[in-house]
Amino acid sequence: MTDQEVYDGSSIEVLEGLEPVRRRPGMYTDTQNPNHLAMEVIDNSVDEALAGFAHLITVTLHADNSIEVTDDGRGMPVDPHPVEKVPAIELILTRLHAGGKFSGDSYRFSGGLHGVGVSVVNALSSRLEARVRRDGHRYYIAYEQGEKVEGLRDEGTCPRAEFGTTVRFWPDGRYFDEDLFNPELLRHDLKAKALLCEGLTVAFCNELDGSSERWSYGGGLGSYLGDACAGRATEPPRPFECQVEGEDFELSFAVAWELEGRGDQGLHESYVNLIPTPDGGTHVNGLRTGLLLAIREFCEIHNLLPRDLRLTPEDVWGRCSHVLALMIRDPQFAGQTKGKLSNREVASLVEGAVRDRFSLFLNSDVAAGKALAGVIIESAKERESSAKKVSRKKVGRGPALPGKLTDCSSTDPARGELFIVEGDSAGGSARQARDSSYQAILPLRGKILNTWEISGPKALTSEEIKAISVAIGLEPDREDLEGLRYHKICILADADVDGLHIGTLLCALFVRHFPSLVRAGHVFVACPPLYRLDCGKVKDYALDDEELERKRRDLVRRGHRKDSIRIQRFKGLGEMNPEQLGETTMDPKSRRLMQLTLGAEGDESTMELMDLLLSKKRASDRRDWLERNGARAEDLS
């Protein structure tokens, strides 16, 4: 046996300190350029502003390609940590998952939650310097390649009222596709921070071109969106703007509909705790659904819809320019780059707030509401007209449709929905729960083949994958979407661990072998609930334990006795009767869908994560990841 074939205890490599970041930087930051490193440092300063301690943040892009961020917040703590016995600032700068935002005691809302941000910056920088002003003293510490080269020292006194932190770093170009910062993107993100954080002033000095700018807003999201849409006709002429504050969240949004084109030139921005989320997430899904339900209700009340015309999410969303800002206590992002929010409970929270407020807006001025509804109805008519020109054909040539497929009667691919359902039992319930005019059902038997590392032709040797391919009308690895039989393909699996596994395998199939389908926005993951709550006339559902507890607290606050709330836990989709399955997971009026997204050139962080999860060659990496993160898993026994 050769040395390469030996696999024993000595084969296990333990990476210490910041080495995991340098080995796989793509798991911790966006490696296209160093901008994301800058935002990690800036976000720490912004979190001080959110907590009410900082009012001015100054960012300087130096001529030597270093970034310096200064704030007037409390200053990083420099006293010894009670357990680690080293200055707290050293833990912040060098220890992954060390920070002051886990408990929520120091920050109500914050963007940096995982304690890895500034330590990642340190790991991927050739040099990092930090200066702190607090308690009447100035402190300094410096690192090179993540290693301390100048220990923490007291550099003298300063006025006792002077507090704050300055961090300057030089990114190491070895870890980035482009080693220079993008000043325009920095400028845009800094301007948004000032817009979204009331009372915060942000200054940007660019030594590369000698420019400097300063932002401090008081006009709100409506003014911001109005400026972005200036010169273009919109409905309403002044964007609708709303703020909602709850016990554990704050929500602001502004919307307007472009009267020309499909809204491609409009503004589409979303933020969570002032972190931009360019890939959207559950908060954007909630905004989209809330707007749709409010407009549908308004159209039904005033009898505005032509016969047989039904509004779809695309009709409402296609021309909508929007800015959405959400503040929540514990945001969960899809990856350390934080481009997409994944908290499942947020979708219903935002949906309810948006639907209520937007409905009030539409009905408070019926004439203005009808004008807006007219824009959306016109979009729906255009969609129907286009669908008639390219209608979904029943398969006449090539492989016959799979026998397990229960097709829909509509021949309009834009209206058609295919639910890929886990198991024959759930498939039977789904068939009874569906709207047969436009919803088709394809049940699967057990876990499908892991297709991450195999070719498209080999994937088709699996009967289950062949059935999916024939049903949707596309072969694996095709770039064009000609022949697509449904514009909405929904993965519907149990909410338990096995269901998540099946859902992951299906997502991997679409991302790897049908990427054009994903990029076009045709693939969704349904979110079936785990629980049903019954309390007198009140019947509700909860996606998970967290949402269950929140809804139970809401019922108690509304006067219901805690012991009168009956809770049913679904072991799987097959346990739901057709009415429950339809109401929670299939009816567009009440279901929750998450859209699967992928960037135009492929999302590097997504591909890296999928590779870590599914590649046979990455078994040791998965083991390392589990060893590092296993303690964070919940006990489900």
Q: How far apart are CA 66 and CA 61, in angstroms?
A: 6
Q: For this structure, is 496 an active site residue?
A: yes
Q: How far apart are CA 467 and CA 476, in angstroms?
A: 12
Q: Give the number of C-alpha atoms closer than 13 A to the C-alpha of residue 82, restricted to the C-beta side.
A: 0
Contact 358, 294 (CB under 8 A): yes
Q: In which order are the strands placed within the sheet that holds 566-569?
A: 538-542, 531-535, 566-569
Q: Give the number of C-alpha atoms closer than 13 A to the C-alpha of residue 193, restricted to the C-beta side.
A: 32
Catalytic residue among 30, 494, 540, 624: 494
* Cα dihedral value 508, 512, 516, 521, nearest 10: 10
258-273 burial, b if ≥16 CB within 10 A, otherwise e? Answer: beeeebeebbbbbbbb
Q: Which residues contact 318 (CB under 8 A, 6 or more apart)?
A: 262, 263, 379
Catalytic residue among 144, 330, 496, 608: 496
Q: How far apart are CA 569 and CA 371, in angstroms?
A: 45
206-230 burial, b if ≥16 CB within 10 A, otherwise e? Answer: beeeeeeeebebeebbbbbbbebbe
Residue 80's DSSP bridge partners are: 87
Catalytic residue among 422, 464, 547, 624: 422
Structure tokens at 103: 């408990």
> What one-letter code names the amino acid at 157?
T
What distance separates the 2 farthest-apart alpha carbons in the chain? 83
Structure tokens at 82: 């009670």
Catalytic residue among 207, 475, 498, 608: 498
- Name which of 285, 262, 287, 343 is nearest 546 in CA terms: 343
| Distance separating the N- and C-terminal Cα atoms of the chain | 42
Report which secondary-structure segment, H or E, holds 212. Answer: strand 211-215
Q: For this structure, is 422 an active site residue?
A: yes
Q: Which residues contact 360 (CB under 8 A, 6 or more apart)?
A: none
Name the residues annotated as catalytic. 422, 494, 496, 498
